[in-house]
Structure 1
Amino acid sequence: MGQVQSDEGRPAPSHEEITKELANRFAEKCFAPLELFSLKDVFRSLADQEQDVRYLKEETIARYLEIPDTLGASPILFQMVSYIGAFPFLQDAPAVLGLEQMVMVITILTERYKRALAKGASDRRKLLFKSLAVYDRSLSEIPMDKENVHGHEDSPGGPNATSRPSGFAIDVAGDDEEGGEMAEEDEDELVLAAFDSLDYLSAFRHGNSTTINGAMIPADNFRKLVMLLLFIAPLGPQETPSLFLDRVAGAELKNLKTVTDCVLRAFLNVEQSPGIKFHQFNAIIPSSMPFVFNGFTPLFERFLFSKNLDFHKHRDEPRTPPKIIQPLLQDTGSIMNLGVLSQISFFIPGASLFRRLRLLYSGEDDGFSMGSFETKVFNWRAPTILLVSGTRLSDELDYKSTGAESAFLATLPSKRFGRGSSEKAERLTFGVYVSQPWKHTHRECFGGEDTLLFQLAPCHDVFRASSLNRNYVTFTKPSTSTNHAGVHFGCPPPLPTQAYRRSNIISLGTVSLVLDSSFEYGCFTHDYTSKGGAFQSSEARKYDFQDRFEVSSVEVWGCGGDDEAKHQAEHWAWEAREAEARRRINLGTGDIEADRALLEMAGLIGANRSGGSMG
Structure 2
Amino acid sequence: MQPPGASDRCGLTPPEQLSHELALRFASKCYTHLEIAHYKDNFKTLADHQEDVEYWKEDTLCAFLALPEPLKAGPVLYHMCTYLGAFPFPSLAPCILTREAMLKVITIMTGRYKKILKRGDQDKIKLLFRSLAVFDRRHSVASPMDKPNMEDIVKEQLPEDMLKEREVEQGVSSHVAGFAIDEPVNDDEDEDDDDLALAALDSLDAIEVFKHDQRTNRKISHAMIPAENLKKIITLLLLVAGITPLTPLAIYGQRLDGERLKALNTSADAIVAAFDPEPHSRGIRYSNFVKTVTTTLPDLFEPLNALFEHFLFSKNFNLNKYRDALPVIETIEAIPSPIYQSPEDTTFSTIFTDTLLAQMSMSVQISASASSSSSLKNVFASNSRFNQLYSTSSHGTSLSSFSRQVHSWQSSTLVLISGTLPDRNDPIVLGAYLPEPWREKPTAPSSSTDAPSKASCLFQFLPRHCMFLANQYNRTIPFSYFNSKTGIALGCVIPPQQSRTGPPQPPILGPVSVLIDSDLSTCTFQHDGDAGVGAFMTDPGLETAQKNDQESAQPKKAVFDLDTLEVWGISFPLARTGSLSESAGEEDEMIKQRRRLAWEEAEAARRRGVNFGGDKDGARALLEMAGLVGDKAGNRSGGSV
C-alpha deviation, 1:437, in angstroms: 1.4
Q: Cα–Cα, structure 1 residues 231 and 382, in superposed 2: closer, same or farther, change >3 Å?
A: same
Q: Which of 229, 232, 243 is equivalent to 1:224?
A: 232
C-alpha deviation, 1:121, in angstroms: 5.4
C-alpha deviation, 1:560, in angstroms: 2.1
Match of 2:44 in 1: 44
SS at match of 2:243: coil
Match of 2:118 in 1: 118
Match of 2:536 in 1: 535
- The question of whether the paired residues in 2 share the 8 Å contact of 1:486 and 1:514 is answered with yes
Give yes or no for the alignment of 1:371 onto 2:381: no
- The question of whether the paired residues in 1 share the 8 Å contact of 2:400 and 2:484 is answered with no
Relative to the length of structure 1, the TM-score reads: 0.78
Cα shift readout 1:118-177 (whole Å, capped 9, x = no counterpart): 2565541111011011112698xxxxxxxxxxxxxxxxxxxxxxxxxxxx96665489xx
In structure 1, how many angstroms separate the alpha carbons of the residues matched to 2:404 and 2:60?
Answer: 54
- The question of whether the paired residues in 2 share the 8 Å contact of 1:441 and 1:474 is answered with no
Which residue identity does 1:357 align to in structure 2? F
Q: How many residues align?
A: 528
In structure 2, how many angstroms separate the alpha carbons of the residues matched to 1:556 and 1:2?
Answer: 64
Match of 1:308 in 2: 316
Match of 2:305 in 1: 297
Q: Which of 235, 256, 261 is equivalent to 2:264?
A: 256
Give yes or no for the alignment of 1:476 onto 2:445: no
In structure 2, how many angstroms separate the alpha carbons of the residues matched to 1:184 and 1:121?
Answer: 24
In structure 1, how many angstroms separate the alpha carbons of the residues matched to 2:220 and 2:10?
Answer: 32
Relative to the length of structure 2, the TM-score reads: 0.75
C-alpha deviation, 1:292, in angstroms: 0.8
Q: Cα–Cα, structure 1 residues 599 and 521, in superposed 2: closer, same or farther, change >3 Å?
A: closer
In structure 2, how many angstroms separate the alpha carbons of the residues matched to 1:219 and 1:438?
Answer: 40
SS at match of 1:213: helix
SS at match of 1:523: strand
Q: Cα–Cα, structure 1 residues 15 and 123, in superposed 2: closer, same or farther, change >3 Å?
A: closer
- The question of whether the paired residues in 2 share the 8 Å contact of 1:330 and 1:355 is answered with no
In structure 2, how many angstroms separate the alpha carbons of the residues matched to 1:195 and 1:46?
Answer: 31
Cα shift readout 1:19-64 (whole Å, capped 9, x = no counterpart): 1211121112211221111011111101111111001110001000
Match of 1:410 in 2: none
Which residue identity does 1:330 align to in structure 2? Y
In structure 1, how many angstroms separate the alpha carbons of the residues matched to 2:572 and 2:33?
Answer: 34
Match of 2:430 in 1: 430
In structure 2, how many angstroms separate the alpha carbons of the residues matched to 1:584 and 1:367?
Answer: 27
Give yes or no for the alignment of 1:448 onto 2:447: no
Match of 1:157 in 2: none
- The question of whether the paired residues in 2 share the 8 Å contact of 1:185 and 1:206 is answered with no
Q: Cα–Cα, structure 1 residues 321 and 548, in superposed 2: closer, same or farther, change >3 Å?
A: same
Comparing 203-212 and 127-136, the one that deviates more: 203-212
In structure 1, how many angstroms separate the alpha carbons of the residues matched to 2:444 and 2:437?
Answer: 14
Q: Cα–Cα, structure 1 residues 575 and 584, in superposed 2: closer, same or farther, change >3 Å?
A: same
SS at match of 2:539: coil
In structure 2, how many angstroms separate the alpha carbons of the residues matched to 1:17 and 1:310?
Answer: 35
- The question of whether the paired residues in 1 share the 8 Å contact of 2:386 and 2:568 is answered with yes
Match of 2:355 in 1: 339
In structure 2, how many angstroms separate the alpha carbons of the residues matched to 1:200 and 1:127?
Answer: 19
In structure 2, how many angstroms separate the alpha carbons of the residues matched to 1:530 and 1:303?
Answer: 51
Q: Which of 412, 419, 427 is equivalent to 1:390?
A: 419
In structure 2, how many angstroms separate the alpha carbons of the residues matched to 1:184 and 1:228?
Answer: 35
- The question of whether the paired residues in 1 share the 8 Å contact of 2:26 and 2:107 is answered with yes
In structure 1, how many angstroms separate the alpha carbons of the residues matched to 2:90 and 2:353?
Answer: 40
Q: Cα–Cα, structure 1 residues 476 and 604, in superposed 2: closer, same or farther, change >3 Å?
A: closer
In structure 2, how many angstroms separate the alpha carbons of the residues matched to 1:12 and 1:138?
Answer: 36
Match of 2:169 in 1: none
Q: Cα–Cα, structure 1 residues 79 and 600, in superposed 2: closer, same or farther, change >3 Å?
A: closer
C-alpha deviation, 1:582, in angstroms: 2.6
In structure 1, how many angstroms separate the alpha carbons of the residues matched to 2:24 and 2:268?
Answer: 38
Cα shift readout 1:281-316 (whole Å, capped 9, x = no counterpart): 111111111111011111111100011111222333
Give yes or no for the alignment of 1:319 onto 2:328: yes
Q: Cα–Cα, structure 1 residues 138 and 324, in superposed 2: closer, same or farther, change >3 Å?
A: closer
Give yes or no for the alignment of 1:523 onto 2:518: no
C-alpha deviation, 1:474, in angstroms: 3.1
Q: Cα–Cα, structure 1 residues 17 and 516, in superposed 2: closer, same or farther, change >3 Å?
A: same
SS at match of 1:357: strand
C-alpha deviation, 1:442, in angstroms: 3.7
Give yes or no for the alignment of 1:265 onto 2:273: yes
Q: Cα–Cα, structure 1 residues 217 and 98, in superposed 2: closer, same or farther, change >3 Å?
A: same
Q: Cα–Cα, structure 1 residues 170 and 105, in superposed 2: closer, same or farther, change >3 Å?
A: closer
Comparing 75-84 and 437-446, the one that deviates more: 437-446
Q: Cα–Cα, structure 1 residues 330 and 244, in superposed 2: closer, same or farther, change >3 Å?
A: farther
SS at match of 2:454: coil
In structure 2, how many angstroms separate the alpha carbons of the residues matched to 1:115 and 1:384?
Answer: 37
C-alpha deviation, 1:102, in angstroms: 1.2
Comparing 468-477 and 349-358, the one that deviates more: 349-358
- The question of whether the paired residues in 2 share the 8 Å contact of 1:390 and 1:550 is answered with yes
SS at match of 1:248: coil
In structure 1, how many angstroms separate the alpha carbons of the residues matched to 2:222 and 2:84?
Answer: 20
Match of 1:330 in 2: 340
Q: Cα–Cα, structure 1 residues 270 and 583, in superposed 2: closer, same or farther, change >3 Å?
A: farther
SS at match of 1:135: coil
Match of 1:612 in 2: none
- The question of whether the paired residues in 2 share the 8 Å contact of 1:117 and 1:193 is answered with yes
In structure 1, how many angstroms separate the alpha carbons of the residues matched to 2:10 and 2:271?
Answer: 51
In structure 2, how many angstroms separate the alpha carbons of the residues matched to 1:452 and 1:343?
Answer: 15
Q: Cα–Cα, structure 1 residues 338 and 119, in superposed 2: closer, same or farther, change >3 Å?
A: closer
Which residue identity does 1:568 align to in structure 2? Q
- The question of whether the paired residues in 2 share the 8 Å contact of 1:2 and 1:13 is answered with no
In structure 2, how many angstroms separate the alpha carbons of the residues matched to 1:269 and 1:529?
Answer: 25
Comparing 558-567 and 217-226, the one that deviates more: 558-567
- The question of whether the paired residues in 1 share the 8 Å contact of 2:134 and 2:182 is answered with yes
Cα shift readout 1:81-123 (whole Å, capped 9, x = no counterpart): 1100000112210111111111110110011111111256554
Match of 1:158 in 2: none
Q: Any gaps of 5 or more consecutive residues in structure 2?
A: 4-8, 140-179, 342-347, 365-377, 447-451, 548-555, 574-587, 627-641
Which residue identity does 1:554 align to in structure 2? L
Which residue identity does 1:99 align to in structure 2? R
Cα shift readout 1:536-572 (whole Å, capped 9, x = no counterpart): 2222222261111111100112222232222223322
Match of 1:188 in 2: 194
Give yes or no for the alignment of 1:465 onto 2:466: no
Identity of aligned residues (%): 35
Which residue identity does 1:493 align to in structure 2? I
In structure 2, how many angstroms separate the alpha carbons of the residues matched to 1:249 and 1:393?
Answer: 31
Q: Cα–Cα, structure 1 residues 15 and 261, in superposed 2: closer, same or farther, change >3 Å?
A: same
In structure 2, how many angstroms separate the alpha carbons of the residues matched to 1:252 and 1:137?
Answer: 33
Match of 1:400 in 2: none
C-alpha deviation, 1:249, in angstroms: 1.5
C-alpha deviation, 1:242, in angstroms: 1.7
Q: Cα–Cα, structure 1 residues 26 and 255, in superposed 2: closer, same or farther, change >3 Å?
A: same
Q: Cα–Cα, structure 1 residues 206 and 573, in superposed 2: closer, same or farther, change >3 Å?
A: farther
Give yes or no for the alignment of 1:107 onto 2:112: no
In structure 2, how many angstroms separate the alpha carbons of the residues matched to 1:199 and 1:65?
Answer: 35
In structure 1, how many angstroms separate the alpha carbons of the residues matched to 2:261 and 2:191?
Answer: 44
Match of 1:155 in 2: none
Cα shift readout 1:161-212 (whole Å, capped 9, x = no counterpart): xxxxxxx96665489xxxxxx9734211110111111222244334425421
- The question of whether the paired residues in 2 share the 8 Å contact of 1:111 and 1:297 is answered with yes
Cα shift readout 1:293-340 (whole Å, capped 9, x = no counterpart): 011111111100011111222333433455564531333543111111
In structure 2, how many angstroms separate the alpha carbons of the residues matched to 1:321 and 1:566?
Answer: 32
